[in-house]
Amino acid sequence: MRPGHRLRLLEGGRALFPAMVQAMDRARHLIHVETYIFVFAHDALPVAEAMERAARRGVQVRLVVDAVGTPQVPPEWVQRFRASGVQWRTYAPLGRLGLLIPSRWRRLHRKLCVIDGVVGFCGGINLIDDRDDVVLGRLAVPRLDYAVEVSGPLVGDMLATMERLWWRLLAARRARRREFRAAWQAWRAAHVGDDLHAWWQGWFMERDATPAGPDSGPLVHGAAAAVLWRDNVRHRHDIEHAYLQAIAQARHELIIANAYFIPGRRLRHALAQAVARGVRVRLLVQGKYERFLQYHAPRPVHAWLLRAGVEIREYAPSALHAKVAVADERWATVGSTNLDPISLLLAREANVVTTDARFVRHLRARLDHLMRTAGVALDMETLQRRPWRERARDWIAFAVMRAVLFLTGHRY
């Protein structure tokens, strides 16, 4: 944790997208964007248009999308990006065999945006309209999701990590074309100059903040914060360890809102131990059916946690895509990480954590309100009263998940 950050909680794309557009329209040097899903329609469209405008006035604009989340950029936007100078890359193209190759399950799932190295956005919100869903279709009520707007020292960490990935992707692309000298130059660029843009730090702090939207939280100054990564090299377990530490240190209350909640053995036991020492543990999880494994595999885990005394509610109004948590009034995290095997073992993820009591209280108040007004209580009687076919699907899904993890050499 480092002090000196400015943080603001953003709820949904309706808060995030205008803030991104306003910051992009003020950009002078560099815009970096990474996202899992980018749908060029409705409320997400102004973000693409802001990137295009910035590139036309000479700002260097870089975009990375995941090949699974964004199978293709629309031809119109390929042409518009090329004409304006927006540079974009696809992370881990699938090839002919697609996801049949287990190594290709390692996806780019983080959602990041850094502008001029001085203001950043991190969270779980993809670049897709809040009412659009790639599985559920058009939603009657906007999905629930969060991001955080941040300025301060950790933005330099975000920029350095995004720069490294960008140059590695470029090096891989040139190597595939057998442009080996260019590939070596790009690879070197990925490993030097992590603080090339450090001189930009502090410049944004002297500017006015991005105007707040209707779904933005209060602007918090002087917050202690950090950004945590999950990758397949040096940061395999950083985010999981942060959760474990926060759970172990909780004394009164834990609230976790997580879309795809299938925690492993260590997280399950940590939550049970927290309940045993008197901590109230509340979970808000996805209540909508999306896919077989995502819906059924968590049920045996839910039953185990309910028996341990954890309170679980399913979000009812719409789709839940949030990945946030608070511990007492001293710790909070907002990011892209689901507490499931895909996020914790395979995907590239990013979470901002803070110990600022003002930010934690605001997020905690919002989650408490949702738990009380928008969550449907899940209990053992409800789970056991379902038809036997539904309960059988739960265990089949859970067994399939464990078998796949075993085949890929992971313990969870």
For the annotated catalytic residues, the residue numbers are 109, 111, 116, 321, 323, 328
Cα angle 292, 298, 300; round to 5:
115
The alpha-carbon radius of gyration of the chain (Å, integer) is 21
The DSSP letter of residue 108 is: B
Q: How many CB atoms lie within 10 A of CB 97?
A: 8
Task: Read off the amino acid at residue 139.
Answer: L
CB contact set of 351 (below 8 Å; sequence gap of 6+): 122, 227, 228, 239, 242, 323, 333, 334, 335, 336, 337
C-alpha span between 95 and 115 (Å, rounded): 32
Residue 400, Cβ density class (10 Å: 0-12 exposed, 13-18 middle, ≥19 buried): middle
Terminal CA-CA length for the chain: 28
Q: How many CB atoms lie within 10 A of CB 152?
A: 24
Residue-wise DSSP of 284-337: EEE-S---HHHHHTHHHHHHHHHHHT-EEEEE-SS-B--EEEEETTTEEEEES-
Nearest Cα residue to 57 out of 95, 35, 25, 81: 25
C-alpha span between 411 and 42 (Å, rounded): 41
Residue-wise DSSP of 162-180: HHHHHHHHHHHHHHHTT-H
Residue 176, Cβ density class (10 Å: 0-12 exposed, 13-18 middle, ≥19 buried): exposed
